[in-house]
């Protein structure tokens, strides 16, 4: 089943008002953040508030993800111990750069009694991670790594760690982004693009959403509710794209074409692999429509 992840909004766990607002925003997913968005002296408060928010529910069909602090730091262990039992849809783990990082979180989730539906998402934000995202994604093939479901690009941390500049068009990072998409897809994972920092630059946000979409990303992480509309629109297939996809699916389902590997549609040669792409486009459009209707 396809689950839209066009817009994934960070909300600081220390801000009770923001946590309440997250229940009504049109984002596909919300990340209740215990890490970067929370000051050191507010970590305990944020942890309590996030646990209460997840336990109370009321988020509808939005995915609820909790980003914990790094397990090697002073807060990560307590974060995981508090959050795992209340069963968010996923726990987002920072600074993962090898499969063992996934396995260690999975072991702890098992010991802490996390429900089976709680997935693991990992931040791809270190030089080691972008050099070999395949090695991280490969955890999915192991029984212990079966919870792994998505990569989330941490482009701000990547800039810090590599000294690459955050410039329009992201030329310094394009290789890393594309490499991460390939690593995720090799094991059937989703991948969500990094944040866009300029809150007053609507054109820049839209351009970066389009770039992420064209690279193969499923959606974009966001830092303000005013960014949701652009992400939802850009990462959703347009009406013409959906209509064309439906036509391809229907053509290959016609009795005379079911055994063919390629057919001509509208003067263009279309292969069966295009039918697979078209079927996913239709499924995504239907999932988005169902979410909107709900």
Which of 155, 275, 149 is CA-nearest to residue 215?
155
Is 249 in the same domain as 163?
no
Whole-Å CA distances, 52 to 56, 87, 114, 273? 6, 12, 16, 46
Q: Is the pLDDT of residue 294 over 70?
A: no
- Over the stretch 184-201, which tens digit does the pLDDT of each residue have? 999 999 999 999 999 999
Predicted confidence band at 1 (pLDDT cuts at 50, 70, 90)?
confident
Bridging pattern class, strands 29-33 and 262-265: unpaired
Report whether pLDDT(256) > 80: yes
Two tokens, residue 177: 């982004």
113 and 67 within one domain: yes
**Interval 38-54: pLDDT, tens:** 999 999 999 999 999 99
Domain annotation covers residue 2: no
The CATH number of the domain holding residue 148 is: 3.20.20.60
Q: Is 193 part of a structural domain of the chain?
A: yes
Specify the pLDDT at position 293.
Answer: 72
| Shared domain check, 257 and 144 | no
- Of the residues 195, 215, 234, which one is the last residue of a structural domain? 234
Q: Is the pLDDT of residue 109 over 70?
A: yes
Helix or strand holding residue 228 (H, E): helix 228-234
What is the reported pLDDT for 84? Answer: 97
By mean pLDDT, which of 223-227, 245-249, 264-268 is the weakest?
264-268
The span from the CA of 143 to the CA of 34, in Å, is: 28
Residue 47 burial (10 A CB sphere; 0-12, 13-18, 19+): buried
In 3D, which of 128, 114, 127, 177 has the Cα closest to residue 151?
177
Average pLDDT on 73-90 reads: 97
pLDDT band at residue 267, thresholds of 50, 70 and 90? confident
Q: Which helix (H) or strand (E) holds 96?
A: none
180 with 250, same domain? Answer: no
Residue 65 lies inside a defined structural domain of this protein: yes
- Domain assignment present for 106: yes
Distance CA 290, CA 294 (A): 6
Is 44 a domain residue?
Answer: yes
CA distance 128 to 278: 35
156 and 283 in a single domain? The answer is no
My answer on whether 147 and 256 are in the same domain is no
Query: Same domain for 56 and 175?
Result: yes
Say whether both 145 and 176 belong to one domain.
yes
More confident residue, 262 or 152: 152
| Percent of the chain whose pLDDT exceeds 90 | 91
The reply to whether 219 and 250 lie within a common domain is no
**Looking at the structure, do residues 218 and 259 belong to the same domain, yes or no?**
no
> Quick check: 99 and 139 in contact, CB under 8 A?
yes
Q: What does residue 264 show for φ and ψ, rounded to 5 degrees? A: -95, 130
Domain boundary (185, 208, 234) is at 234
What pLDDT score was predicted for residue 11?
97
Average pLDDT rounded to a whole number, residues 134-154:
97
Range of the domain at 256: 239-293
The structural domain count of the chain equals 2
175 and 264 together in one domain: no
One domain for residues 44 and 189: yes
Q: Quote the mean pLDDT of the chain.
A: 96
Instruction: Tell whether 69 is covered by a domain.
Output: yes
Considering the domain boundaries, does residue 274 fall inside one?
yes
């Amino acid at each position: 089943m396809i689950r839209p992840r066009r817009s994934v909004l960070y909300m600081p766990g220390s801000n009770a008002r923001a946590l309440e607002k997250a229940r009504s925003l049109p984002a596909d997913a919300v990340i209740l953040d215990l890490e970067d968005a929370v000051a050191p002296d507010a970590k305990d408060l944020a942890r309590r508030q996030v646990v209460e928010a997840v336990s109370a529910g009321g988020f509808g069909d939005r995915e609820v993800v909790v980003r914990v602090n790094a397990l090697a730091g002073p807060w990560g262990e307590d974060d995981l111990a508090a959050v795992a039992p209340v069963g968010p849809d996923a726990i987002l783990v920072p600074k993962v750069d090898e499969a063992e990082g996934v396995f260690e979180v999975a072991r702890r989730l098992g010991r802490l009694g996390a429900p089976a539906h709680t997935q693991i998402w990992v931040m791809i934000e270190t030089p080691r991670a972008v050099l070999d995202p395949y090695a991280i994604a490969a955890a999915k093939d192991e029984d212990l790594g079966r919870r792994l479901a998505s990569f989330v690009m941490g482009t701000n941390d990547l800039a810090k760690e590599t000294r690459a500049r955050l410039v329009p068009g992201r030329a310094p990072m394009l290789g890393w982004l594309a490499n991460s998409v390939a690593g995720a897809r090799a094991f059937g994972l989703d991948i969500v693009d990094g944040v866009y920092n300029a809150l007053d630059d609507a054109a820049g946000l839209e351009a970066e959403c389009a770039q992420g979409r064209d690279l193969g990303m499923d959606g974009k992480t966001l830092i303000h509710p005013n960014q949701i509309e652009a992400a939802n629109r850009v990462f959703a297939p347009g009406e013409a794209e959906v209509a064309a996809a439906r036509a391809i699916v229907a053509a290959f389902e016609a009795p005379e074409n079911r055994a063919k590997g390629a057919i001509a549609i509208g003067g263009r040669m279309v292969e069966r692999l295009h039918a697979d792409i078209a079927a996913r486009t239709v499924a995504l459009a239907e999932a988005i429509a169902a979410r909107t209707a709900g």
